[in-house]
């Protein structure tokens, strides 16, 4: 076992993130999962790796350029980290393609699902492919022959391209020998064959295969010596100078087109690509040999994500489920009562995706249609291009309600969608603000102000009453069916007052007032968490029970980690459920003996942030939009809100913690070196996500 005296107390962030992707990939390897879901997990791993290169590796390469000897808190220099990351990422990519070729493709074939590569084409498929190429592909292609008048074209980030090796001379006597063909994104990458062309019920070809067979039609009279697919991953961070901009939306609109053409960080080519072509591409994108990934198959496995949706085989997918509703909302539905009457009587907790996201949509839709509602305020981080919730806000503004929306324009990879929503909201008269420059607004909150009667009889007065929804996840209906998150509806006056104050900060100017119930980044969340951890340590030192449980996506912030180590030494039992990156070392003698870390990876993406402190039996429970990372504490606007109702506290503790601490099928246990072991037990299987699905159906 690792000894405290001989180790750095912090693990490396990039290696921890790769370890998470390895756990996702293990789902694709799992023979107990439905076959088409294994395909999805393979694609998710590839998609995660794309973002890893676009953001984390891109950052490392920039650091290598500026200061290769910089050493972070984990003790590694940038050069060392880059070498370790490159080696481990390459191993993971190799495992992906081995699984795809040796296991998943043969299993698909047994189920009558077959991807026809060129070697399996007979005359019928070849004739169909040539006809399809002429009709659907050739008209939209623009081949570029490289010569002094035709330089290497700009290649979009993650786009599919072909490098063609040619012989002979063209009509003008040119013989450059190389041409580049870019595949427009409008072209499908996976194409289903017409019935009768294959013996398999579900048969497909890849666009890559058609191109490799038919590319000669683009270069009449010349010889094609090779046609090699390739793909470039680029730095996708946007640069917006906080001190120079006067209009954040205009600044972002100017930067977004450049995202597709950032510095190259990775080149993917087929394993049979000629060495001369590989060298040419490597030079063109200014990459080193370590940045080139040779693969045995499609250069973009993410494109296979559509395969399960094209196959009507329910037995090869996860069983469908119908999300439940909290009992209070079920009763209200039967009585045809509106949500505001229900929320005014008690707080309501919803746990997605086990419980439906419709109450959140209903909350905003009801507010938009209710003549007694005078104002709606909401934060938007990610909501999707097609959103019923946003349509409700548009309707509310059109009908004269006071609508204020804080749109976070710097939500990575959702900037363009959010800009479009901001424009539409402004067109109908909504107040749209973009939060605070330099601090992303990541808090998830909605505030409804309603004019209601108070008292009874003819002298009854009308007063304003506030209702709030806060959550751990985005206002995004699609991800709410895939991510686990909690949401709280409340009319608690202290909470509503605090939420109102946070909106005032975001839309106006002035010093921050002290909030009554909420912890807020960048002001009070970090110190309040440290105070709560220290309180558990104090209690444990006094010989009483100290217990902390926390669930989050990432754990990185050094001061919090140091406090957890100190609490562990004081005797506090600490159970952490960290889905992704964790740089804390658990279970190290003399450092973190009392800390356990596990990661839950399953059908749903674990996304909830929950914090529990025993506090001498008070059982303090908080939900939050924030992970325990520097950015969440100091460079974002985040909220952490208490669960005050005793029954709801018990629900969060059971559904958020205990059921996952018992899990012995989806849980991975982390050791002090950052290695994860899949938890398996000879006892009866416990699958937390499955148990919650079963429970919530009837709740």
**What are the tens digits of pLDDT across the range 473-523?**
999 999 999 999 999 999 999 999 999 999 999 988 777 788 999 999 999
pLDDT over 80 (residue 448): yes
Q: SS3 of 138, please?
A: helix
Name 483's bridge partners.
605
Largest CA distance in the chain: 97
Show the DSSP H helices in 598-676 as ranges: 630-634, 646-652, 659-661
Bin 571: left if φ > 0, else alpha if -120 < ψ < 50, else beta.
left
> What share of the chain has pLDDT > 90, as a percent?
78
Spell out the alpha helix ranges (H) of 219-338.
248-259, 275-284, 327-335
Please state, in angstroms and rounded to a whole number, the distance separating the CA atoms of residues 468 and 573.
Answer: 34
What is the spatial distance between Cα 585 and Cα 525, in angstroms, rounded to a whole number? Answer: 23
- What is the rounded distance in angstroms from the CA atom of residue 424 to the CA atom of residue 543? 59
pLDDT of residue 508: 83
pLDDT at 238: 45
Q: Distance (Å, rounded) from C-alpha 359 to C-alpha 343?
A: 11
Instruction: Annotate 502-515 with DSSP letters as a single string.
Output: HHHHHHS-SPPPPP
3-state secondary structure 553-566: CCECCHHHHHHHHH
Q: Is the Cβ–Cβ distance between 484 and 411 less than 8 Å?
A: no
Beta-bridge mates of residue 490: 468
The neighbour count for residue 170, using CB atoms within 10 Å, is: 16
Q: How confident is the model at residue 222 (pLDDT cuts 50, 70, 90)?
A: confident
Mean pLDDT check: name the lowest of 12-21, 175-184, 630-639: 175-184
User: What pLDDT is attached to residue 239?
Assistant: 46
Collapsing DSSP states into helix, strand and coil, what is residue 145?
Answer: strand
Tens-place pLDDT, residues 121-144 = 999 999 999 999 999 999 999 999
Distance CA 498, CA 611 (A): 20
Return the half-sphere exposure (C-beta side, CA atoms, 13 A cut-off) of residue 85.
26
> What are the DSSP E strand ranges found in 125-250?
144-145, 161-167, 178-182, 190-192, 202-206, 223-234
Say if residue 253's pLDDT is above 60. no
442 counts as catalytic? yes
* Fold category of 327-507 in CATH: Endonuclease; Chain A (3.30.870)
Token output for 415: 């900037």
For the segment 521-526, the average pLDDT, to the nearest whole number, is: 97
Q: Are 190 and 203 in contact (CB under 8 A)?
A: no
Which residues are CB-neighbours of 152 under 8 A, at least 6 positions away?
144, 146, 180, 284
C-alpha span between 547 and 614 (Å, rounded): 5
The three-state DSSP-derived secondary structure of 406-445 is: EECCCCCCCHHHHHHHHHHHHHCCCEEECCECCEEECCCE
Per-residue model confidence (pLDDT) at position 455 = 60
The mean pLDDT of 153-171, rounded to a whole number, is 89
pLDDT digits (tens, 9 = 90+) for 642-654: 999 999 999 999 9
Q: What confidence category does residue 254 fall into, taking pLDDT thresholds of 50, 70 and 90?
A: very low
Q: Which two tokens stand for residue 409?
A: 């324009």
Instruction: Note whether 327-507 and 519-697 share their fold.
Output: yes
* Mean pLDDT estimate for the chain: 91
Q: What is the pLDDT of residues 326-360, one digit of tens each?
A: 988 888 777 677 899 999 999 999 999 999 999 99
Contact assessment for residue 219 and residue 170, using Cβ atoms and an 8 Å cutoff: yes
Report whether 387 contacts 417 (CB < 8 A): no
Distance CA(351)–CA(365), nearest Å, equals 20
Task: Give residue limits of the domains in the chain.
Answer: 4-316, 327-507, 519-697
pLDDT value of residue 259 = 46
Please identify which of the residues 116, 228, 352, 442 carries the catalytic annotation: 442
CB 154 within 8 A of CB 257: no
Taking residues 387-414, report their average pLDDT: 86
Q: What is the pLDDT of residue 459?
A: 53
Note whether 180 and 211 are within 8 A (CB).
no
CA distances from 350 to 330, 485, 604, 640, 655 (A): 12, 8, 16, 16, 11
Q: What is the mean pLDDT of residues 649-672?
A: 97
Question: Where does residue 136 rank: exposed (0-12), middle (13-18), buried (19+ CB within 10 A)?
Answer: middle
> What angle separates helix 78-99 from helix 58-66, to the nearest 10 degrees?
150
564/591 Cα distance (integer angstroms): 10
Q: Is the pLDDT of residue 175 over 70?
A: no
Q: How far apart (Å, rounded) are the C-alpha atoms in residues 550 and 536?
A: 13
Banded pLDDT at 420 (limits 50, 70, 90): confident
Is the per-residue pLDDT at 696 higher than 90? no
Higher local confidence (pLDDT), 175 or 151: 151
DSSP E strand stretches across 437-567: 440-441, 445-454, 461-471, 483-490, 519-521, 547-552
- Please name the fold of domain 519-697: Endonuclease; Chain A (3.30.870)
d(CA 421, CA 436): 18
| Assigned CATH topology for domain 4-316 | polyphosphate kinase like (3.30.1840)
State mean pLDDT over 33-62: 95
- Closest alpha carbon to 665 in 30, 48, 45, 95: 30
The residue-averaged pLDDT of 94-110 equals: 98
Summarised one tens digit per residue, pLDDT across range 52-96 is 999 899 999 989 988 989 899 999 999 999 999 999 999 999 999
Sorting pLDDT into bands at 50, 70 and 90, what band is 255?
very low
10: DSSP letter: B
pLDDT at 247 over 90: no
| Angle (CA) 518 523 529, round 5° | 65
């Amino acid at each position: 076992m690792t000894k405290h005296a001989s180790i750095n107390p912090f693990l490396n962030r990039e290696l921890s993130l790769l370890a998470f992707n390895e756990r996702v990939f293990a789902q694709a390897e799992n023979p107990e999962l439905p076959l088409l879901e294994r395909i999805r997990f393979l694609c998710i791993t590839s998609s995660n790796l794309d973002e890893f290169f676009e953001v984390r590796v891109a950052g490392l390469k920039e650091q290598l350029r500026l200061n290769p000897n910089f050493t972070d808190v984990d003790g590694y220099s940038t050069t060392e980290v880059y070498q370790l990351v490159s080696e481990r990422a390459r191993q993971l990519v190799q495992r992906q393609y081995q699984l795809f070729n040796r296991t998943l493709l043969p299993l698909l074939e047994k189920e009558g699902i077959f991807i026809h590569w060129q070697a399996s084409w007979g005359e019928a498929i070849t004739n169909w492919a040539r006809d399809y190429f002429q009709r659907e592909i050739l008209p939209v292609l623009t081949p570029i022959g490289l010569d002094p008048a035709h330089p290497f074209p700009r290649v979009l980030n993650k786009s599919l391209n072909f490098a063609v090796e040619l012989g002979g001379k063209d009509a003008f006597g040119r013989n450059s020998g190389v041409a580049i063909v870019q595949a427009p994104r409008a072209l499908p990458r996976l194409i289903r064959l017409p019935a009768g062309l294959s013996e398999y019920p579900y048969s497909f070809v890849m666009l890559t295969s058609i191109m490799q067979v038919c590319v000669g039609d683009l270069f009449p009279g010349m010889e094609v010596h090779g046609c090699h697919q390739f793909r470039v991953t680029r730095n996708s961070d946007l640069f917006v100078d906080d001190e120079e901009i006067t209009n954040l939306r205009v600044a972002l609109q100017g930067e977004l087109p450049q995202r597709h053409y950032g510095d190259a960080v990775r080149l993917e080519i087929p394993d049979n690509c000629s060495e001369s072509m590989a060298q040419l591409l490597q030079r063109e994108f200014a990459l080193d040999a370590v940045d080139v990934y040779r693969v045995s198959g499609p250069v973009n496995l993410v494109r296979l994500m559509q395969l399960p949706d094209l196959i009507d085989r329910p037995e090869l997918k996860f069983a469908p489920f119908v999300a439940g509703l909290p009992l209070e909302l079920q009763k209200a539905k039967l009585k045809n009562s509106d949500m505001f009457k229900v929320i005014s009587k008690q707080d309501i907790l919803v746990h997605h995706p086990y419980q439906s996201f419709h109450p959140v949509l209903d909350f905003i839709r009801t507010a938009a249609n209710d003549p007694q509602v005078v104002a709606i305020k909401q934060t938007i981080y990610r909501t999707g291009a097609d959103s019923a919730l946003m349509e409700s806000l548009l309707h509310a503004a059109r009908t004269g309600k006071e609508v204020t929306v804080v749109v976070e324009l710097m939500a990575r990879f959702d900037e363009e969608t959010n800009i479009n929503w901001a424009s539409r909201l402004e067109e109908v008269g909504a107040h749209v603000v973009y939060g605070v420059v330099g601090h992303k607004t990541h808090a998830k909150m909605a505030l409804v102000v309603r004019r209601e009667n108070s008292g009874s009889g003819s002298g009854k007065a009308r007063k304003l009453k506030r209702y709030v929804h806060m959550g751990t996840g985005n206002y995004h209906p699609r991800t709410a069916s895939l991510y686990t998150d909690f949401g709280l509806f409340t009319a608690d006056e202290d909470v509503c007052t605090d939420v109102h104050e946070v909106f005032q900060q975001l839309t106006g100017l002035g010093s921050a007032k002290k909030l009554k119930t909420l912890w807020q980044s960048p002001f009070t969340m970090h110190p309040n968490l440290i105070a709560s951890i220290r309180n558990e340590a104090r209690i444990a030192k006094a010989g009483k029970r100290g217990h902390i449980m926390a669930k989050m996506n990432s754990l990185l912030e050094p001061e919090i980690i140091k406090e957890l180590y100190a609490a562990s030494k004081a005797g506090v039992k600490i159970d952490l459920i960290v889905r992704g990156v964790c740089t804390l070392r658990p279970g190290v003698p003399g450092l973190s003996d009392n800390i356990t870390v596990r990661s839950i990876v399953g059908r749903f993406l674990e996304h909830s942030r929950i914090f529990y402190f025993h506090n001498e039996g008070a059982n303090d429970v908080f939900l939050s939009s924030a992970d325990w990372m520097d950015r969440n504490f100091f460079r974002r606007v985040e909220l952490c809100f208490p669960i005050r109702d005793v029954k709801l506290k018990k629900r969060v503790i059971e559904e958020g913690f205990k059921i996952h601490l018992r899990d012995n099928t989806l849980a991975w246990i982390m050791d002090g070196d950052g290695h994860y072991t899949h938890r398996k037990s000879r006892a009866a299987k416990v699958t937390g996500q499955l148990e919650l699905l079963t429970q919530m159906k009837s709740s």
